[in-house]
Structure 1
Amino acid sequence: MVDPEWLRSNDEEARALRQAQAGKPNKAWRVLHRVTYVERPALMGFGRDVRKLRAAAAVSENQALLDKIAKLEEENQKLKEKLNTIISLLKGQK
């Protein structure tokens, strides 16, 4: 809603609105262009991990873990042998 008195006034904005309403609509104003996705180029040097690797420490930690697993497997094998011995002794008593 526009006040007709204001539209007839000498106000700068009223004159601009009168000119816009009087002229032919500009085709450029009829176009609605919407960009929904923009692919940005990768920035060089950004996004890389710049932390120092702990290669030597990681290798020693991995080796310690592998040694512990090997020890547990040996203990597991010994327990299996003991259980087999106990089971065979129990079967022999029947």
Structure 2
Amino acid sequence: MHYKRESSHTLWKSRRDSPFVNAADIKHITHALKMLKPGGRIVALCANGPRQNDVLKPLVTARGGLWEELAADTFRSAGTAVRCVLVAFTAPSH
């Protein structure tokens, strides 16, 4: 996880390479959203599975964000063929 901290427990931006085991990516990304300042930005990789599509995709699209499915072999050179999605969205600015 990489982030820029301005004050305790609030972030302007967060880049996430979430763990995928047991849908931990969902918890990882939703937790980051709670830590963002209004108008802050999240960019993350997550698995492209049914749970992620049910929970994260609506969250991302409701905020006008990016949900980009990556090719199945994107990370094959790293030893995995997990289907992944690149997500990017901005927290509400209220």
Report the TM-score when normalising by structure 1.
0.18
Select the structure with the greater relative contact order (CA < 8 A; seq sep ≥ 6): 2
**Structure with the higher helix share, 1 or 2:** 1
**Structure with the higher strand share, 1 or 2:** 2
Report the TM-score when normalising by structure 2.
0.18
Higher-Rg structure is 1
